[in-house]
Structure 1
C-alpha cells in the first residue's frame, strides 16, 4: 500500500503547480475571482484570451505527463507488473492537487487538462479515442464541459473493457482496484461539473469558441 501512497503524493505535488493562477498573478489578478471562478483552461480562455487558455491547458496537461513519467522512471524496475495501476495513482494525485491545492484554500480547477495528461500517458489507443471523443463533441456543440464529461465516461468504459482484455498486465484484484480508482475520478469530475450539467440540461450552458470571430 505504501507504494500507492507514494505515487499519489508525487502526483499531488505536481498537481500543485496551478498554471492559470500563476499566469493570472503575473497579470495582477486571481483568476478565481473572475468568470466562473474556476482555475482552469476554459475560464482562462474566456477571461484572458485563447493564448492564455492554451498555455494553461498545456501546463496542466504537462504536469500530469511529468508526474507519470517520474513514477515510471522510479518504479518501473521494481513494480513493472503493476505499473499501469501506479500510473493511475500518480495521475489521481495530480488531479487532486490541481482541484484541491492546500495553499489556495483547496480552491483549484476541475482537473480536465490534468486528465488529458492521464489519457495521453496511459495507453496510446485510449489517447486517440479520448482526442476523437472530445474534439468531435466540442466542434459540434462548442460545449467544453460536455466534451470533457464524455471523455471521462469513455475513459471509464475503456478502462474496464481493455483491462478485461488483458491490455494492462494486471491481476484481477489489481484490475478491480484500477476500476474503483477510475470510478472515483469519474465521479469527482461529474461532481465538479454539477453546475455545468445543470446548465446543459436547462440549455443555458455557455459555449466556448477558439476565436472571437466565431463567438455568437
Structure 2
C-alpha cells in the first residue's frame, strides 16, 4: 500500500512540471503573458520558436506516456488479468 501511495505522489509531482513555463523562463519570457497565454507547446512554438517548442512537446508527451505506463503497471500489479492493457 505504501508503494502505491509513493508511486501516486511521484506521478502527481512529475505531471505538475510545467515544461512550457520553464522554457519561457529560460528564454526570459513569461509565456503565460505572451501569445495565447497557454503554456503548451503550440504557444511556445509561436512565441519562442521551434528551438524551445519541440522539446516542450516531447517532454509533455513523455510525461503523459509515463503516466499511462505507470497506471498500467499499477493496474497489472493489482489485477494480473488486466495485463492485456499493455501497449
TM-score (norm 2): 0.71
Give the Cα–Cα distance (whole angstroms) in 1 for the partners of residues 61 and 14 of structure 2. Answer: 11
Matches of residues 2-21 of structure 1 in structure 2 within 5 Å? Answer: 11-21=11-21
Post-superposition offset of 1:53:
1.1
CA deviation string 1:12-60 (max 9, x = no partner): 4332111111111112222111000001011000100012111110010
Gaps of 5+ in 2: none
Gaps of 5+ in 1: 1-5, 85-121, 124-216
Q: TM-score, normalised by structure 1?
A: 0.32
SS in 2 for 1:29: coil
Name the structure 2 match of 1:203.
none
**How far apart, CA to CA, are the structure 1 residues paired with 2:54 and 2:74?**
30
8 Å Cα contact 2:75/2:82 also seen in 1? no
- TM alignment of 1:29-48, pairs within 5 A: 29-48=29-48
Specify the alignment match of 2:25 in structure 1: 25
**Equivalent in the alignment of 1:136:** none
Q: How far apart, CA to CA, are the structure 1 residues paired with 2:29 and 2:79?
A: 44
Any residues of structure 2 matched to 1:57-206 within 5 Å, and which?
Answer: 57-82=57-82, 84=85, 123=87
What is the CA–CA distance in structure 1 between the aligned matches of 2:17 and 2:34, rounded to whole Å?
19
Equivalences, count: 81
Cα distance in 1 between the residues matched to 2:43 and 2:61: 16
Q: Closer, same or farther in 2 for the Cα pair 1:37/1:26, shift >3 Å?
A: same
Once the two structures are TM-superposed, the CA of residue 79 in structure 1 deviates from its matched residue by 2.1
Q: CA RMSD in A?
A: 2.6
